[in-house]
Structure 1
Amino acid sequence: MRLACRPRLALLFARRGAEGQAATLFAEGGSGGFIYHGIIGLAVLIGLAWLLSEARARIRWRYVIIALVSQFVIALILLRVPFLREGFLALNGVVRALSDATRAGTSFVFGYLGGGAAPFTISDPAASFILGLQALPLILVMSALSALLWHWRVLPWVIRGFAWALRRSLALGGAAGVAAAANIFAGMVEAPLMIRPYLARMRRSELFVLMSVGMATVAGTMMVLYATILAPVIPGALGHILTASVISLPAAILIAQIMIPDADLPAAPEAAQPLEMPRYGSAMDAVTVGTQQGLVLLANVIAMLIVLVALVALVNLLLSLLPEMAGAPLSLQRLLGWL
């Protein structure tokens, strides 16, 4: 039970302690007060992880410091280097292309309910947007594209590059490093499957790193979906989400190595284990299998959205029975806003 709960803390620490603080420190026009606030918050979160550590004497502070510094270096490079910032803007075109391609498929299947031309005059265009038929099917397209890129051996090379960087900087070698790098592009379920033969031999600390990284990063399929939804209100949404996910990788490793340090202290990081590659008979087979896997994910997302929204509405109904505060009824949204 203790091990199952701690990745949630790692997710909180990684998101708040890395993305928020790094973005604050490197945001243009940020005041000194915000910088001090970020530094204090980062120190507090690391301190909490230290207090919850199972073996403080085994913490390898050298790699903790490297992981901490790497977050700021990554943020500085991704947010300050001009051509990378322009690249983030170019990613918006990729998001629009994927969104338009998905809309072509949904409008063909669902007609105007899927985003196609309506056979009547629409007085309120915003009311015609149907999340489950127009935005969420992007999961299917991204899942199929991911499988196709695996079949063409594009993603494995990218993952090996990240695994090499983790092995050289944080001494996270072997299967754990490969799976941690894969979490940037694959989901929390898919990434461990790439090292399936090695899971039984992984140490407890390595499993905790794998779980923490999985909860701190954003899968590529969901990343594009989030960017599509946020694009109208946040310029360069995909670039921001990608930056946050990459920064969260060393942040999650940092927290995991503090809370459950490795019992073994290798003199040098071990070599990366080979990926267990998904085997597809052809490109069409990859598209078919990827679509089937995406369909399961799509069904899970729709089901969870229905249940969670219903639960929030139920909590709000219960809170409405309490006396009003500041001239308005209590709600879960207001309570979380105060926190």
Structure 2
Amino acid sequence: MALQSIAGLFFFSFLAWLISENRGQVRLKSVGIGIAIQLALGVILLKLPAFRDFFLVLNDVVLSLEEATRAGTTFVFGYLGGGPLPFDEIFPGSGFIFAFRAMPLILLMSALSALLFYWKILPIVVRRFSWCLQKTMGLGGAEGLGVSANIFVGMVEAPLFIRPYLSQMTRSEIFTLMTCGMATIAGTVMVLYASILKGTLPGVMGHILTASVISAPAAITISKIMVPETRELTSGQLS
């Protein structure tokens, strides 16, 4: 299985090279670094006990948020929001109504994200990820910020981090930003998936977060192969 996964990394990289708009400008060093980062992140996030314990704690936090949200929706909407059903549920799961169970959780996570941004906690985390991507994969400042933000917030919110620089970004940088937006999972949706899959997959939040983090260098690698950088990188920092 491990060999199959590693072979898949190289196969999809080769496939991206075949459809690249400028094969001669593809930087093999960046591709190799991107693949190496994915493998390293996989080992670190999935094998080291410290990270496994962290993901278990994170999973408990998600469950606590979901329980608190369900308590509120039950108080307001009754059984529509997750309270005891006044009738027998013939089909398992049919009592789950997205508008009353999932949307409130998304609103809660959106509010928490805004609060973390206001308290300058989220920008600090994003800056750290951005610095790592700039140093390892040679991204521009604005590009690194946008990609890092995509790991934690949605595809709509991430470009707002670098709004003053969007008009200056190169075609390759814009493509990378879009690719990472498609590859990663927004924090609000991440929590929603975890709440839905908690009974099926133990420690689901850790799996989803790991997939989202690993997808960032993967998306950068693929995007830089398909649309290589041929112009000067766009600088930019998060204020």
- Please give the TM-score of this superposition, normalised by the length of structure 2: 0.94
Determine helix, strand or coil for the equivalent of 1:232: coil
The question of whether the paired residues in 2 share the 8 Å contact of 1:54 and 1:259 is answered with: yes
What does residue range 52-63 of structure 1 map to in structure 2 within 5 Å?
Answer: 52-63=19-30
Candidates 62, 74, 81, aligned match of 1:114: 81
Deviation at 1:215, TM superposition (A): 0.4
User: Does 1:275 find its partner at 2:235?
Assistant: no
User: Does 1:203 find its partner at 2:159?
Assistant: no
Letter in 1 for 2:150: N
Deviation at 1:143, TM superposition (A): 0.5
Alignment-derived partner of residue 154 in structure 2: 187
User: Does 1:223 find its partner at 2:186?
Assistant: no
Letter in 2 for 1:218: I
Query: 5+ unaligned residues in a row in structure 1: which ranges?
Result: 1-33, 277-339
Give % identity.
Answer: 54
Letter in 1 for 2:78: G
Structure-1 separation of matches of 2:142 and 2:183: 18
Structure-2 separation of matches of 1:258 and 1:264: 15
For residues 15-42 of structure 1, the C-alpha deviation after alignment (integer angstroms, 9 at most, x for no partner) is xxxxxxxxxxxxxxxxxxx233323322
Task: Report the RMSD for the aligned CA atoms in angstroms.
Answer: 1.8
- Please give the TM-score of this superposition, normalised by the length of structure 1: 0.67
Deviation at 1:83, TM superposition (A): 1.5
User: Does 1:242 find its partner at 2:171?
Assistant: no
Deviation at 1:63, TM superposition (A): 1.2
Candidates 188, 194, 200, aligned match of 1:233: 200
Determine helix, strand or coil for the equivalent of 2:151: coil
Q: 1:123 to 1:42 in 2, by over 3 A?
A: closer
Alignment-derived partner of residue 48 in structure 2: 81
Structure-2 separation of matches of 1:127 and 1:264: 53
Candidates 242, 247, 257, aligned match of 2:224: 257
The question of whether the paired residues in 2 share the 8 Å contact of 1:53 and 1:258 is answered with: yes
What does residue range 6-155 of structure 1 map to in structure 2 within 5 Å?
Answer: 34-118=1-85, 120=86, 122=88, 126-155=93-122
Determine helix, strand or coil for the equivalent of 1:71: helix
Deviation at 1:136, TM superposition (A): 3.1
Determine helix, strand or coil for the equivalent of 1:195: helix
The question of whether the paired residues in 2 share the 8 Å contact of 1:163 and 1:173 is answered with: no
Letter in 1 for 2:172: S
Structure-2 separation of matches of 1:70 and 1:126: 39
Letter in 2 for 1:247: I
Runs of 4+ in 1 over 6 A off after TM superposition: none
Structure-2 separation of matches of 1:174 and 1:89: 33
Letter in 2 for 1:274: Q
Determine helix, strand or coil for the equivalent of 1:245: helix
Structure-2 separation of matches of 1:254 and 1:157: 24
For residues 183-228 of structure 1, the C-alpha deviation after alignment (integer angstroms, 9 at most, x for no partner) is 0011111101111111001000100110111100001010000011
Structure-1 separation of matches of 2:79 and 2:232: 60
Deviation at 1:89, TM superposition (A): 1.4
Of structures 1 and 2, the one scoring higher in RCO (CA 8 A, sep 6+) is 2
Query: 5+ unaligned residues in a row in structure 2: which ranges?
Result: none
Structure-1 separation of matches of 2:210 and 2:191: 13
